[in-house]
């Protein structure tokens, strides 16, 4: 079931607003990654990467598991479903408007 609570949507959109976090999610879409592997492409410290990972984790977009001394992160795309549902509403809105505009332009010919 999709969770469309505003605070969940806010957390997801806030997490997705940052290009570094979006890039981290793209890496995780390819498979699980250690924190250091998520940090490496961005030339950032582990502390900096950890802040991004925490934001993604708070939005529910990733899970982190401790395996010995290593933290392994995995993508959890479920919260994105609520964001997609929200966006689909506006997609329908704009499709209707654009269809009406196209019809008006054709009638003007």
Where along the chain do its domains lie? 6-108
pLDDT of 109 reads: 65
Q: Which of 34, 41, 79, 40 is nearest to 58 (CA)?
A: 79
Residue-level pLDDT at 3: 46
pLDDT of residue 21: 97
Token pair, residue 3, equals 């969770």
pTM value is 0.77
* The CATH number of the domain covering residues in 6-108: 1.10.10.10
CA–CA separation, 23 vs 78, rounded Å?
18
Note down pLDDT in tens along the chain; length 109 residues: 344 555 888 999 999 999 999 999 999 999 999 999 999 999 888 899 999 999 999 999 999 999 999 999 999 999 998 888 888 888 888 888 888 898 889 997 6
Helix (H/G/I), strand (E/B), else coil: 3: coil
Query: Residue 86, Cβ neighbours under 10 Å: how many?
Result: 15
């Amino acid at each position: 079931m999709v969770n469309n609570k505003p605070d969940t949507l806010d957390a997801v959109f806030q997490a997705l607003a940052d290009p570094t976090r979006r890039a981290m999610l793209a890496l995780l879409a390819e498979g699980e990654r250690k924190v250091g592997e998520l940090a490496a492409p961005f030339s950032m410290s582990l502390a900096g990467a950890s802040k991004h990972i925490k934001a993604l984790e708070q939005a529910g977009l990733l899970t982190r598991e401790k395996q010995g001394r290593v933290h392994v992160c995995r993508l959890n795309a479920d919260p994105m479903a609520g964001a997609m549902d929200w966006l689909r509403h506006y997609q329908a809105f704009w499709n209707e408007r654009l269809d009406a505009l196209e019809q008006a332009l054709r009638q003007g010919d």
